[in-house]
Structure 1
Amino acid sequence: MRRTLLSSVLLSSMLVGVPAAHAAPTAEVVDMFGRTVNGYGVKLVDWEGYLANPYVELTVRPPQDVPFPVTIDLKAEGTSRLMMDLPSQLTATGATKSLTFANASERKTFKLAIHSKRGPGTDEQHTLRLTTRAANNTTYQQTMPIRVQQDQKTVLEPTIPINFDYRYDTITGYFSSQPFRTAAEEAVKDWFRFFDLQPFDTVAAGAENNHLPGNDWQNTVSVTNNAAYNGMWVYFRGIQTPYSTGYPAANGKYHARNGQQLPGPIHRSTAMIFEYDEAGKQLFTSLADEDWYKTEIQGPVLDVHGLVMHEYGHAVAFHSDWAGMRDYVNTSGAGDQDVIDYMGHPVPLDSSYHIPGTQASWDRLSGQSGGWTHLFPTRRWMLTKLALLVAENAGWKVNRNLTPFLKPAIVTTALPQVTAGQPYQQTLAAKGGVPFYDWRVTGGALPAGLSLDRFTGTISGTSTAAPGTYSATVQLRDYDSLSAPVTRTFQITVGGTAPVNQARNATASASYTSGWESVTAINDGIDPPSSNDTTNPRWGTWPQTGQQWADLTWTSTKTLNRADVYFFDDEDGIDMPASWKLQYWNGTTYTDVPGASSYPLAKNQYNTVTFPALPTTRLRVLLTATATSSVGLLEVKAYGT
């Protein structure tokens, strides 16, 4: 600002002993697209409800104005299903993890995921809490939303009947327990929920032979189906030693449809053998969503569902009796392009027909594996997208219409017409991929006055563009680093009469104007480069504080419905107001503009207010200064006819 020496001295005396207002130190959280998510929060997806969910990776930047070293404690609050990558802890209400920063330039990443909610459900919202502890033991807290998109809206069930045969559970009787039986059946169904199947030709009663072991896999028992079926026959048996597993019938008989043997070939029956060391072990049979974290894959709490899901995988696909899986092992997975496209490289199977437990072979999006190690705390073995893609080699066909297998796509094909001068809002729809989507305009441009929200895909604003048709290419990226961006070009028509900035025809006046400033600056038509514009004329009220106003007056009535206000802030006595509003002249007095949308307070941009069309000859911007500052304006635009 241009001030006299006396003015500067007066200002200095006014500010002595007045503490400056500072916001609490804040850590910044940034996603893979470089977006700061502090305001919007994080979005997770719960896929079909029976599959390990993808995680999001986030980068934390510590506060810059606190003494180091700094520790930031992360807490994902709201459900036990929330989890973070190791090292971290699971709790009944969420996951916890700590990050330590030696200096302000350090960056640390963490991964956040949610365990599946079985079956259909509604979208959820939880909380990510960050507690910053500085070297002087001062703590600061901040929170942001965790939005969970529940992708499964209807019950997903196998499309073929599955017959469970418990007649031979005569050694341990594990399956006589209904909760045990339910957990085991659900684990088997979880595989078939993802297969695109139709019933097979009927197998007559007594026509399908299999075998079951005794303890120590001795005294093999020959078994057969005691009823006709056209789906899958599953034998369950509990034994005492030495291990659990599953296998298909190796009897030379395979499923057919309309008399034609199906590719694979597909075995007509399978067996699931369940064993566990009773000493010090507790069987866990709950399928409740909030209970899964209590299980321990290598601990004293043995999860029936997780163990059966893993071991039945050998029966349904991961076994040398499946011809296609033998070929897969022999080629180290090099011939499966779907797996290569998903993982970025071939995934071999080891000699026991397991996906290797090394990190390179973990499911790329979920960080889960069917083995002992995971990117996240190991609790319940979960079915993964990778395991299903590999299982296709046994002859099954995955249902590619299910959301985990859909490639990202922009669903919206056209946008409705924009009316110049009227508020506009349309949200673009998308599907597929990992939907913490990033939306951007990469070609052409939206009509002036409209913008695209990168997080939500919402196009909104009030168009100031001339009538006509505008072209904008929108790019969608999902939260999968290997996904190719997708684009769609929209033709957007602007109709009606383009709004006119009536402020250019008005006479400006003010409650007070500093001697070196000019009130005519507020409607001179110059768009400021920033709020601290040192080049163009400004209107300021220093050293006056309190409530100040600037008026626009017309010689004839104008019908207005929107105003754009650009604040002057030199951070040296002229600051952003504490609040502001618009008033109009009703013929006898100034009164608040009715139906105003909101009064934003943002530096370095126009602050837009819309309101129902209003006839008047005067418009006032009423500003309330902070206790120690003056206020000012760089430009005011008033649109109407």
Structure 2
Amino acid sequence: MRRAILPAVLVLVATLLVATPAHAVGTATVVDRFGRVVNDYGVKLVDWEGYLANPYIELTVRPPTDVPFPVTIDLKAEGTSRLMMDLPSQLTATGATKQLTFANSSEAKTFKLAIHSKRAPGADELYTMRLTVRAGNGTSYVQTMPIRVQQDQKTALEPTIPVNFDYRYDTITGYFNNAAFRTAAEEGVKDWFRFFNLQPFDTVAAGAESNHLPGNDWQNTVNVTNNVAYNGMYVYFRGIQTPYSTGYPARNGQYHTRGGQQVAGPIHRSTAMIFEYDEAGKQLFTSLADEDWYRTEIAGSVLDVHGLVMHEYGHAVAFHSDWAGMRNYVNTSGANDQEVIAYQGRTVPLDSSYHIPGTSPYWDRLSGQSGGWTHLFPTRRWMLTKLALLVAENAGWPLNRNLTPFLAPSIVTTSLPDAPTGQAYTQTLAARGGVPFYDWRVTGGALPAGLSLDRFTGTISGTPSAAGTYSFTVELRDYDALSTPVTRTFQLTVGGGGTGGGNLATAATASCSYTSTWESCAAVNTGGDPASSNSGAPNQGSRWGTWPQQGEQWAELTWPSAQALSQVQVYFFDDNQGIDLPASWRLQYWTGSSYVDVPGAGAYTRNANAYNTVTFSPVNTTRLRVVLQSAPNLSVGLLEVKAFS
């Protein structure tokens, strides 16, 4: 069920809006890697697909200059146990803590901030960074700034092939009889397959796939076969008492086929995961609750089932000498994998046991985590990392390059609507990919007088004062230090007629296929300019949404007399709580007897936080319809529609 905005969230937002002014006595200055002071805007983190370690951001703290030294600054990332800062720091039930000390005002110190993945899809999040400045005379000063978390996972990500689990041979320890244990273990396996771009293979008949399992203490071998037919991956689970956990593929010379042809790799048809637990004083930890993850750091007290299985199954699915591609990777010390080298900035060899080295040069450079216990951050949960997936691809598993961790940064806005002279103008440029705490700059040409570009949000706003056509180049930098900046040149016409002040939609009457009881169809043609795709609130008449209806939905404008139309601008509603960008959309006009698609339409873009402009061959009509096709399990909505001759 779609969730309403909670009063607690509104209180938190109100608190952040009255954060300590930058000029107040005892105020520290926080600067990001682009040199932007973030005291007021705050920072932005990204939670990628929910199943792998997230990127961190690095910030520099400069102490206040108007208080006695030495100065101590206590940092507290508040609001969720998933927030973390680089070591030395602590994880707590309510957030991460860290302390910085300064001998004098010329010192500056850095820290890194990240957030653990959230497995369950959800809305974007808002938390608080609290800085308590303690001066040398004992006086304390408190300041806060927002921590925004962009949730890239709108729907649960699942493997594209079936994964069959076989527990028949868990006869020694019976670990997998425990439902929570079994669920945590299965999720550790599925996490790998969530990132592979696969289609089902040819069906393997029951009893046709042979594998082997160890006896207790690896003293003997148990030969096994699959008891059901399958066309994905078959996984044997077995618990033993000693001496170690591991995973491996079947070494039987049989590989997956599709359409009768062997799949490149070659890809083994089954794998085995052996779980061993014989550590005195440790409790098995099976929780997958997002807010429980910090508990894995409690030294010496827990053995995290999900993390251990995720790591050890990595040997079954890729990091093992039985995978021909990985043998070649080890033999060449990774020198032939240019993508891994480009990502990590160096070759990444594997050791003799097919592990990525645990030393800091081989921690994933964006997440600061690794396939072992030691990380840049205080967590003992083994997390899947982007680096591990890039290396694993050598085993023959193609990665899904459409998932956000693998997208290069790009500016997706392609054009800007005209601006009327002397009237307020707002347009937000949209981007995707990379690590999206973006920095926007004009690096060529110039914006029209009266307009400015917000470096944090990419919003062009102001009141243009001089008519003309202006050309300017915008540069986008993401928070990955090794990324190459991207640019796009825009043309913006001020006072040029056409779309400048000639919005015909405000003279029309709106009607819609379905409207949620707390939204308004009349919101689609008010003539306003939304601040973002998540603007407005329920029961305020500022947006149109169709929750819980799915599939094809439409919003229609009707005029009392025929209008000449050749361009439409559409601003989508996306609240990250069930209303999402459409999977596709189109424009239709009324011929007098039926609706047909507008002729000669340009590209139907699907950008958030910006108008999507479609220019088409002129039509004369009394009705215009915006037809939206929702993505699976989601609804759609609009904030504004503009129509021009």
Class of the TM-score when normalised by the shorter of the 2 chains: 0.7 to 0.9
* Partner residue, 2:44: 43
Is 1:215 matched with 2:227? no
Query: Structure 2: 5+ residue runs without aligned partners?
Result: 1-22, 502-645
Residues 468 and 496 in structure 2, CA contact (< 8 A), matched pair in contact too: no
* Partner residue, 2:482: 482
Is 1:64 matched with 2:65? yes
Question: In the aligned structure 2, how far is the partner of 1:266 from the partner of 1:152?
Answer: 29
Deviation at 1:215, TM superposition (A): 1.3
Is 1:493 matched with 2:521? no
* Partner residue, 2:74: 73
Question: In the aligned structure 2, how far is the partner of 1:180 from the partner of 1:425?
Answer: 52
Deviation at 1:29, TM superposition (A): 0.3
Residues 296 and 303 in structure 1, CA contact (< 8 A), matched pair in contact too: no
* Partner residue, 2:96: 95
Distance 1:447 1:256, change over 3 A: same
- In the TM superposition, what are the counterparts of 1:3-152 in structure 2 within 5 Å? 23-152=24-153
Is 1:176 matched with 2:177? yes
Deviation at 1:339, TM superposition (A): 0.4
The SS at the match of 1:266 is: coil
Deviation at 1:297, TM superposition (A): 8.5
Question: In the aligned structure 2, how far is the partner of 1:372 from the partner of 1:418?
Answer: 55
Residues 297 and 380 in structure 1, CA contact (< 8 A), matched pair in contact too: no
Residues 46 and 150 in structure 1, CA contact (< 8 A), matched pair in contact too: yes
* Partner residue, 2:313: 312
Residues 282 and 301 in structure 2, CA contact (< 8 A), matched pair in contact too: yes
Residues 265 and 397 in structure 2, CA contact (< 8 A), matched pair in contact too: yes
Residues 210 and 252 in structure 2, CA contact (< 8 A), matched pair in contact too: yes
The SS at the match of 2:187 is: helix
* Partner residue, 2:436: 435
* Cα-to-partner distance string for 1:183-222 (whole Å, 9 max, x where unaligned): 0000100000000000011111111000000111112100
Question: In the aligned structure 2, how far is the partner of 1:435 from the partner of 1:47?
Answer: 10
The one-letter code matched in structure 2 to 1:459 is I
Question: In the aligned structure 1, how far is the partner of 2:440 from the partner of 2:194?
Answer: 32
* Cα-to-partner distance string for 1:402-445 (whole Å, 9 max, x where unaligned): 00000000010011110010000010000000000000000001
Question: In the aligned structure 2, how far is the partner of 1:473 from the partner of 1:258?
Answer: 49
* Partner residue, 1:633: none
Deviation at 1:379, TM superposition (A): 2.3
How many residue pairs align between the two structures?
Answer: 477
The SS at the match of 2:311 is: helix
Deviation at 1:341, TM superposition (A): 1.0
Residues 419 and 464 in structure 2, CA contact (< 8 A), matched pair in contact too: no
Deviation at 1:65, TM superposition (A): 1.0
Question: In the aligned structure 2, how far is the partner of 1:98 from the partner of 1:83?
Answer: 13
Query: Structure 1: 5+ residue runs without aligned partners?
Result: 1-21, 500-641
* Partner residue, 1:270: 271
The SS at the match of 2:248 is: strand
Residues 46 and 55 in structure 2, CA contact (< 8 A), matched pair in contact too: yes
The one-letter code matched in structure 2 to 1:485 is P
Q: Percent sequence identity over matched residues?
A: 84
* Partner residue, 1:196: 197
The SS at the match of 1:206 is: coil
Residues 53 and 367 in structure 2, CA contact (< 8 A), matched pair in contact too: yes
Runs of 4+ in 1 over 4 A off after TM superposition: 496-499
* Partner residue, 1:471: 471
Question: In the aligned structure 2, how far is the partner of 1:445 from the partner of 1:388?
Answer: 42
Residues 292 and 379 in structure 1, CA contact (< 8 A), matched pair in contact too: no
The SS at the match of 1:277 is: coil
* Cα-to-partner distance string for 1:95-150 (whole Å, 9 max, x where unaligned): 00000001100010000000000031110000000001111111101000000000
Deviation at 1:280, TM superposition (A): 1.2
Question: In the aligned structure 1, how far is the partner of 2:54 from the partner of 2:63?
Answer: 28
The SS at the match of 2:342 is: helix
The SS at the match of 2:316 is: helix
* Partner residue, 1:586: none
* Cα-to-partner distance string for 1:516-571 (whole Å, 9 max, x where unaligned): xxxxxxxxxxxxxxxxxxxxxxxxxxxxxxxxxxxxxxxxxxxxxxxxxxxxxxxx
Residues 170 and 176 in structure 2, CA contact (< 8 A), matched pair in contact too: yes
Residues 271 and 317 in structure 2, CA contact (< 8 A), matched pair in contact too: yes
Question: In the aligned structure 2, how far is the partner of 1:321 from the partner of 1:335?
Answer: 19
Question: In the aligned structure 1, how far is the partner of 2:317 from the partner of 2:76?
Answer: 39
Is 1:423 matched with 2:427? no
Deviation at 1:372, TM superposition (A): 1.9
Is 1:401 matched with 2:364? no
* Cα-to-partner distance string for 1:287-323 (whole Å, 9 max, x where unaligned): 0000011114862201100000000000000000000
Moved more, 490-499 or 379-388: 490-499
The one-letter code matched in structure 2 to 1:213 is P
TM-score, normalisation: structure 2: 0.73
Residues 208 and 224 in structure 1, CA contact (< 8 A), matched pair in contact too: yes
Is 1:165 matched with 2:169? no
Q: Kindly name which structure, 1 or 2, has the bigger radius of gyration based on alpha carbons.
A: 1
Question: In the aligned structure 1, how far is the partner of 2:155 from the partner of 2:473?
Answer: 34
Name the Cα RMSD after superposition.
Answer: 1.4
